[in-house]
Amino acid sequence: MSSSLVAETYSLPKRRRSVAGRYRLDRWFVVFCLAVAFLSVVILAVLLTAILVQGLPALSWGFVNSPPSASPEKAGIQPALFGSLWVCGVCALFALPIGVATAILLEEFKPRSRVMRLLHGFVQVNISNLAGVPSVVYGIIGLTAFAGMFGLLGNVNQPAVEVGARYFDQFVSEGNRILLVPVAGVSSPSVEPRSGMIATVSSGHRIKVNVIGPRGPLPEEPKLRAFTLRTDAEAGRIGRKSWYYFRFPFGRGVLAGGLTLMLVVLPIVIIASQESLRAVPDSLREGSLAMGATRWQTVQDITLRAAMPGIMTGSILAMSRAIGEAAPILIICGIVYIASQPGNLMDDFSVMPLQIFNWAARPQQEFHTVASKGIIVLLAVLLSFNALAVLIRNKLQKPLT
């Protein structure tokens, strides 16, 4: 027997032991993964059960339809709920079309020249890196770029351009009536009471103001006294904004918050859309081009149609992250008391994660119960959005025939 045959014969048991060890290690790894997954599900179930037990019995329609309050019995989440809907709507309106279009450009229209290929790779690497940037960094970028416009168009408190806003000087007459005198802008000089001045009352009617001296006698007639001002009366500047109100810079409003969240989720949408486009077989593209279709017709009718379920899945995950983000919104608007829902894209706002954090940070146990109710409402809105997106995805998922 040759020496090589002897060596191979003696090495067979060692090979069998090696293969058996690898199979044993593989089984143990599968068990470990199953145990970790089961433990994660158990922890999630315990947390959800604790929240439901604490908040569900006290949840009511009044909580959903009421503003925040210093009293836990009267506290509600309506302004934060509508603020989240406004901000996430703006985020989806900008992030999804831009993200999908960027993915199509990077995957379906790859450049051929060397310089453009280098630029393409540079953009691709930066998109991948941006997906891992902490969201608080995007909050700082949004505050500088969207809220303040880099300081190039005025400042946050005094915009350079406004559309749909009216400003008034508010006086309190000697008859305790509110009188509004229109002014040109927010930075206009204060109006001084004078004879013949026209003001607007709360009903919207315009009246002529009766002006008397600082020590002059008040009119005896109550109706005339209601429209009487003294020459030393001080005014307060107020503004009334229409639903289409717009300004530059954007300020700390809904539009700035939505665009900031767009920066957070845009890399996720782009990467998920690219992966979905890569999963489409090249034979479909080649067959479409062989039939005489252009590149854009192939993308529109074949590639994008086949990749739409995956793109919708990535969009669902991105919007699920957006509705739960707190750090970038905290930098844009801060935790402030907001008693009403936004009326326009430039209006002040709050979101549900910030409101829930505010309640959870208070020492009173009653507010912790209120925070649990807020978490339930947030989860309900999130699951509703996801269910709607899944229905749309299934509707768009049709066989290619």
Same domain, 144 and 265: yes
Are 291 and 380 found together in one domain? yes
> Is pLDDT at 267 greater than 90 in this prediction?
yes
**Average pLDDT estimate for 262-277:** 93
In this model, does residue 151 exceed pLDDT 80? no
Q: Are residues 122 and 262 in the same domain?
A: yes
pLDDT average, residue stretch 48-62: 90
- Alpha-carbon distances of 219 from 81, 230, 234, rounded to whole Å: 49, 12, 20
The helix/strand/coil state of 159 is strand
Average pLDDT over every residue of 271-284: 92
**Residues 237-257, mean pLDDT to the nearest whole number:** 90
Q: Mark whether 330 and 262 lie in a shared domain.
A: yes
Q: What share of the chain has pLDDT > 90, as a percent?
A: 39
Residue 12 binned pLDDT confidence (cut-offs 50, 70, 90) = low
Q: Is the dihedral of CA 81, 85, 86, 88 positive or negative?
A: positive
- pLDDT for the residue 270: 94
Q: Mark residue 197 as left, alpha or beta (left: phi above 0; alpha: psi -120 to 50; beta: remaining).
A: beta
392 and 259 in a common domain: yes
Q: Are residues 78 and 206 in the same domain?
A: no
pLDDT tens for residues 56-93? 898 889 999 999 988 988 999 999 999 999 999 999 99
Which pLDDT value is given to residue 3? 54
In this prediction the pTM is: 0.84
In DSSP terms, 211 is beta-bridged to 229
Residues 272 and 365 in one domain: yes
In a domain, 159, yes or no: no
Q: Are 267 and 383 contained in the same domain?
A: yes
Last residue of a domain, one of 55, 82, 98: 55
Token output for 329: 């919104």
Q: Decide if 183 contacts 198 (C-beta within 8 A).
A: no
Q: Sorting pLDDT into bands at 50, 70 and 90, what band is 16?
A: low
**Number of domains within the chain:** 3
Q: Residue 323: which CATH number?
A: 1.10.3720.10
The answer to whether the beta carbons of residues 173 and 257 sit under 8 Å apart is no
Residues 196-238: pLDDT tens digits?
888 988 778 898 998 988 888 888 888 888 889 998 898 899 9
Q: Are residues 84 and 121 both part of a single domain?
A: yes
Q: What is the DSSP letter of 156?
A: S
Say what the pLDDT of residue 32 is. 95
Q: Which residue has the higher pLDDT, 19 or 116?
A: 116
Can you tell me the mean pLDDT for 309-334?
88
Q: Which residues pair with 159 in a beta bridge?
A: 154
Sheet holding 198-200, edge to edge: 206-208, 198-200, 178-183, 161-172, 236-248
Q: Return the SS3 of 236.
A: strand
pLDDT of residue 11: 55
pLDDT at 120: 87
What pLDDT was estimated at residue 13? 60
Provide the residue range defining the domain that includes 25. Answer: 1-55
Instruction: Render 247-272 in DSSP notation, one character per residue.
Output: EES--SSHHHHHHHHHHHHHHHHHHH
> Using an 8 Å Cβ cutoff, are 310 and 272 in contact?
yes
